[in-house]
Amino acid sequence: MTARETLLAKVRQGLGRAAGHLPASLAAPRLQIPLSDRNLFTPLFVRNFENLGGKSMLVREAGEVVGALEPLRAGKRVVASNAPFLADCGITGLAGVQSGFTDRDALRAACVDADIGITSADYVLADTGTLVLLASPSEARMISLLPPVHVAVFPRSRILTNLDELFGILPAPAEQTSSMVLITGPSRTADIEQILVRGVHGPGEIYAVIVG
C-alpha cells in the first residue's frame, strides 16, 4: 500500500466509511429571508450604506435624477453604463456623459480617463448596504471599478432584504452573467499596521441614488 493509500484509508476509517462508499448528499441549503415591511428596506439600506462610508440621495421620480447629480458631475468627466434605467433618467443623453460603448478597448480608455462612473444596480441588499451588479453589455464592470467615483442609480423596487433573498431570486448567477459584483462601500484596504486607506482597489467614493 502506498503512502497515499495509507493516508486515505485512515481518513475513511476516521469517517466510518469503506472504500468505494460515496458520501451522503448534502441537505438543501435553507435560505433565511426575514419577513418584514418592504417600506423599511430603503431607510435600512441607507443607514447601512452610509455607515460604510457611502453617500445616498433619495429622489421621488426619474426626472429628478439629473438635477440631483448636477453638483457632483459639474466639470467632471463622466462615463455611464448602457443600463436602460439610466436612459430613462436622462443621464446617458447629457452633454459630457460618455455612454453607448460596444467596444471594450474604447470603454477601457474612457473609464481610465473618467472622474465619475455611473451605473444602475440589478439588486440592492438592505441588510448589508450592498449594491449587486450583473456584468452584461448593459452593465460593464469597468464603469463601477476604474473611475475614482462610482454613482449607482436604481429604483427603490430593486432593494431586497439580504443575500439569501438574492439567491432565492437568482440561484445560479453563472447561468445569467459572467460576473456578479457585490459592492459594499468604497474600496478600502489596510496594511500590516491596520491603517485604513480608501480607493486603492477601486473607487474611493460611492453614491447611491434611490428613485421612488
**pLDDT value of residue 26:** 76
DSSP for residue 29? P
Reported pTM: 0.80
**pLDDT value of residue 15:** 82
Higher pLDDT, 62 or 9: 62
Give the CA radius of gyration of the chain: 22
**pLDDT value of residue 8:** 86
Give the fold, CATH level 3, of 38-211: Rossmann fold (3.40.50)
DSSP letters of 100-120?
----HHHHHHHHHH-SEEEE-
With 90 as the cut, is the pLDDT of residue 189 above it?
no
Residue pointed to by grid coordinates 452593465: 139
C-beta of residue 122 within 8 angstroms of C-beta of residue 166: no
Longest dimension (CA), the chain: 75
DSSP for residue 15? H
**pLDDT value of residue 144:** 93
- The length of the chain in residues reads 212
d(CA 1, CA 202): 52
**pLDDT value of residue 24:** 76
Domains in the chain: boundaries: 38-211
